[in-house]
Copies of this chain bind each other. A is one copy, B any other.
């Protein structure tokens, strides 16, 4: 009943890397404000940024066995995405597993649970987004699915989807939408640069975005301070 799916397709590397350069907030906006994982996932060191293709992995509570299974089907450019089958804060992952992943070209870890050896992971520069930091060890008794569609931290993720993660959090982009999202994100970035320059001179967003009329329609009005 537990399955490892081999040879799942990955998003093209050029698209993945380009999305990674843009960052989470831009990619999230460009695809219509969807795909964000819960903000309870935080990087174990900052600054951190990574993009890669999702290598998905389910783990039982307090049991990290299937992470070992996942390493075998990893490919360079993957980001390991781990979700527990029920909520758990144990330390599923540490220096040894990171060493193994790095040897197989995996770029980072996203896990809706805990990790440990964070000083060592920081020294290695291996980026991790986790729910918790915990030294609590795990057993190896109950394997979970690898490379099947999962829900991780509230987001639906399929193997090979793009994972972009930075100091703001983690976002997933569907594999088949990735090139379109990239195009939209690049257009957005150009637009933002111009806005930034105008705002830096003191121009008001109220004017730049022509908000005043709509605000008045929504009932906004101005009063002078009355000290009485």
Instruction: List residues of chain A with CB under 8 Å of any chain B CB.
Output: 1-9, 23-25, 28-29, 32-34, 36, 38-39, 42, 46-47, 49, 60-63, 65, 68-69, 71-72, 85-91, 94-97, 99-100, 102-104, 114, 116-119, 122, 132-137, 139-143, 147, 149, 151, 154-156, 159, 166-169, 171, 192, 195-196, 199-202, 204-206, 209, 211, 215, 218-225, 227
Contacts and interface: CB of A to CB of B under 8 A. Distances in A.
Given A8-B225, A224-B6, A28 B219 contact: no
A68 B206 contact: yes
A227 B160 CA distance: 12
Given A23-B119, A133-B169, 4 more contacts: A9-B227, A25-B116, A141-B141, A141-B218
A147 B156 CA distance: 16
Give this chain's copy count: 6
B136 A36 contact: yes
A209 B72 CA distance: 13
A63 to B, nearest CB: 7
Given A28-B137, A151-B156, A166 B114 contact: no
Nearest to A42: B133
Given A62-B61, A151-B156, A136 B6 contact: no
B151 A155 contact: yes
A143 B213 CA distance: 12
A90 B61 contact: yes
A2 to B, nearest CB: 5
